[in-house]
Amino acid sequence: MHRIVIVGGGAGGLELATRLGNRLGKSGRARVTLVDRCAVHVWKPLLHEVATGSLDTHAHEIAYAAHSHWNHFTFVHGEMTGLDRERRCVRLGPMLEAEDGGDEVLPSRDLEYDTLVLALGSRTHFFGVPGAQEHAIALDTLQQAERLRKRLLQVCQRKRALGATEAHEAVDVAIIGGGATGVELAAELRRMESTLRQFRLLSESPRAAMRITLLERGDRVLPALPQRVSDTTQTTLEKMGIAVKVQTSVTRVGPEHVEVDGGASIAADITIWAAGIKAPGVLASLDGVAVNHINQVKVTSSLQSETDANIFALGDCASCSWTAGVMVPPRAQAAHQQAMFLFKALSARVKGGRVGEFRYVDHGSLVSLGSPTAVGSVAGINSSGRFFVEGFVAKLMYAALYRKHLVAVSGLRRTVFAIAAQGLGRLLAPRVKLH
């Protein structure tokens, strides 16, 4: 039987494994295996909400073991550390007790494939800025998002207990990167702050507020989106009391401050790095698989590796041409479209048919600006033209993106139950997770 191995069960990989499992795995036409270094999936665009406690992960996790059983594919818990292209084997590293070490639970293993799909996503790119890796927190994984949330709560508690004056109780947060992640995080932090005040984890005095600074190297926030979206976003953030500094490059990150070009220093009890991505380093170490300067696998228009037709790549870890000189952007929307394409392409490949060509369609972008509002630019019918949207309608459209992902992986019935359970959970708990 044809063996399809997908490495990475994120926005693209999980959807692909689910669809292929239900089509090829169920009918016995292929053996579909998904590998992930985590045991559960949480949709990555939710991580800023996890980091600010406005989303309880337990209500949003999908356990790969159960999900694979229900959708007719096999799940292997492990981290890809290498590849033997001649033997067509993915090498998985030893599984340890904890993420950061401990006893060995499982030794290294090899997993054979006929078709391999690399869907490993991306990591934060610190661009070699001194101190960034040591002192700034990134938002790549669920663990990092949880760590950031706990750190925020601890700093607020410490300042509240030890601050000599109200001004000393203020918590300084610096966010580096004015793209969608940085902007959404800044807005969510304001929401977190109001709940912390409500439960007296922060002082009521406005002088003891969270002082949030958003630093962007370009000349506007959301540089990849239309000017009007950037302008509205900056105005909204400033109304929320967030200091937006554009044309500001960070040159060094210290334990309690950030240095910018020109030598100025910005106080930061917590620094969050949300500027730039690169694909995981393991991809650059795979013998005979061509990658670009940020470790993304170079793929053809059929999403096949330029150097090995048995290897496909999708999502953030793939370097795929869109229009002349422009690459498909690293977004959940692209990972979803590529998963849909590969579902059809691999179904045909198993039968010995042609794989076809992938075409990316930009449906626009939406950025959440906290609880009641969002802003963005969306495509019209047939993807023609662009429409500016903001406010509650934009927020509903933004929320629909996650529901769409849930329907794609869990089906309509489970999604309805999951939404109902999440709604009930919200009624019973504070708006922000406090522990």
Ligand X SMILES: Cc1cc2nc3c(=O)[nH]c(=O)nc-3n(C[C@H](O)[C@H](O)[C@H](O)COP(=O)(O)OP(=O)(O)OC[C@H]3O[C@@H](n4cnc5c(N)ncnc54)[C@H](O)[C@@H]3O)c2cc1C
| Alpha carbon distance 319, 327 (integer Å) | 7
Among 4, 5, 17, 35, binds ligand X (CB under 6 A): 35
Nearer to ligand X, 12 or 259 (CB): 12
Among 4, 7, 118, 311, binds ligand X (CB under 6 A): 7
For the bound state, the minimum distance from the C-beta of residue 8 to ligand X, rounded and expressed in Å, comes to 3
| Alpha carbon distance 77, 129 (integer Å) | 33
- Residue 139 binding ligand X, by CB under 6 A: yes
* Binding map of ligand X across residues 307-346, x = CB under 6 A, - = no contact: --------xxx------------xxxx-x-----------
For the bound state, the minimum distance from the C-beta of residue 173 to ligand X, rounded and expressed in Å, comes to 15
Residue linked to tokens 């449906």: 363
Is residue 139 within 8 Å of residue 45, measured between CB atoms?
no
Point out which span in 7-15, 155-163, 228-236, 256-264 binds ligand X (CB under 6 A).
7-15
What's 82-101 look like in SS3?
A: EEECCCCEEEECCEEEECCE
How does 345-373 read in b/e, with b if 16+ C-beta sit within 10 Å? bbbebbeeeebeebebebebbbbbbbeeb
Nearer to ligand X, 172 or 362 (CB): 362
Kindly report the backbone phi and psi dihedral angles of residue 288, in degrees, each rounded to the nearest multiple of 5, phi listed first: 85, 5
Nearer to ligand X, 77 or 150 (CB): 77
* Binding map of ligand X across residues 257-276, x = CB under 6 A, - = no contact: --------------------
For the bound state, the minimum distance from the C-beta of residue 253 to ligand X, rounded and expressed in Å, comes to 19
Structure tokens at 193: 């702050």
* Binding map of ligand X across residues 9-28, x = CB under 6 A, - = no contact: xxxxx---------------
Nearer to ligand X, 392 or 417 (CB): 392
Q: Which residues contact 299 (CB under 8 A, 6 or more apart)?
A: 305, 306, 312, 313, 318, 319, 320
Q: Which residue from 263, 243, 249 is spatially nearest to 170, judged by alpha carbons?
A: 243
Among 17, 31, 36, 113, binds ligand X (CB under 6 A): 36
Q: Which amino acid is at 174?
A: A
Residue nearest to ligand X (CB): 10
For the bound state, the minimum distance from the C-beta of residue 44 to ligand X, rounded and expressed in Å, comes to 3
**Residues 192-251 interacting with ligand X (rule: CB under 6 A):** none
Among 5, 32, 119, 225, binds ligand X (CB under 6 A): 119
Structure tokens at 390: 């903001």
Is residue 312 within 8 Å of residue 299, measured between CB atoms?
yes
* Residue 329 DSSP one-character state: P
Among 19, 23, 31, 37, binds ligand X (CB under 6 A): 37
Nearer to ligand X, 11 or 253 (CB): 11
Half-sphere exposure (CA, 13 Å, Cβ side) for 392? 0
- Residue 50 binding ligand X, by CB under 6 A: no
- Residue 79 binding ligand X, by CB under 6 A: yes
Structure tokens at 179: 């793209």
| Alpha carbon distance 392, 408 (integer Å) | 24
| Alpha carbon distance 136, 273 (integer Å) | 6
Nearer to ligand X, 119 or 129 (CB): 119
Size of the site for ligand X (CB under 6 A): 33
Residue linked to tokens 């708990």: 429
Among 20, 180, 229, 328, binds ligand X (CB under 6 A): 180
Among 19, 48, 190, 349, binds ligand X (CB under 6 A): 48
| Alpha carbon distance 353, 325 (integer Å) | 30
Is residue 93 within 8 Å of residue 182, measured between CB atoms?
no
Nearer to ligand X, 42 or 355 (CB): 42
For the bound state, the minimum distance from the C-beta of residue 196 to ligand X, rounded and expressed in Å, comes to 20
Point out which span in 118-126, 167-175, 220-228, 352-360 binds ligand X (CB under 6 A).
118-126
Please compute Rg for the chain using Cα positions: 22
List interacting residues with ligand X (CB under 6 A). Answer: 7-13, 35-38, 44-45, 47-48, 79-80, 119-121, 139, 180-181, 280, 282, 315-317, 330-333, 335
